[in-house]
Amino acid sequence: MILLKTKKGDILILFFLLIALTGWLLQNYIWPDVEDKIAIIEIDGQVYQEIPIDTSDIQELIIDLPEDNQIHIVVEKDSIHVEDASCPDKVCIRTGAISKPGQNIVCLPNKVVVFIAGPGDSNIDDLSF
């Protein structure tokens, strides 16, 4: 493996890993884990619905979106996931269920975001722009 010669600047990799680690530690600070979590569904930057996920029973939401698109969201106890969506990439379905504050499901083609927030984050607009 002579081809794997390293150079001085390759320490940049460590720098990246350090940033990632810091980010990870910051996650708990920016999005602390709390009781009474709510799931916020946003469409095109506007809050569409807020659902408490700690207590609620199974709920199914089918939301009609512009241009005949649909997104099918299922709320279970402590988690929320996208069951089906009429987008080409299906990233939102593959993301699976989310349950921790900060975690989010994005459907980019339909501009839908589902994310978890604590109860005190009703002024969540501070986080969005």
Partner 1 sequence: MTKTKTITLLGLLIAQALALHVIERFIPVPIPIPGVKLGLANIITLFTIIILGFKEAILVVIVRTFLGSLFAGGPSSFLFSVIGGLFSTVIMYMLYKWFYRFFSIPTISIAGAVAHNIGQIAVASFIVSNLNLFYYLPALIISGVITGFFIGLAVQFALKPLKIILRIQ
- Asked whether 92 and 107 are in contact (CB, 8 A), the reply is yes
Among the listed residues 5, 55, 64, 68, the single contact to partner 1 using CB under 8 A = 5
User: With left for phi above 0 and alpha for psi between -120 and 50, is residue 93 left, alpha or beta?
Assistant: alpha
Q: Does 62 bind partner 1 (CB under 8 A)?
A: no
User: With left for phi above 0 and alpha for psi between -120 and 50, is residue 67 left, alpha or beta?
Assistant: left
Token pair 């512009």 in the structure block, residue = 66
Among the listed residues 32, 45, 52, 119, the single contact to partner 1 using CB under 8 A = 45
Nearer residue to partner 1 within complex by CB, 70 or 128: 128
The residue ranges that bind partner 1 (CB under 8 A) are 3, 5-10, 12-13, 16-17, 19-21, 23-24, 27, 31, 42, 44-45, 88-89, 91-92, 94-96, 102-106, 108-109, 111-113, 115, 127-129
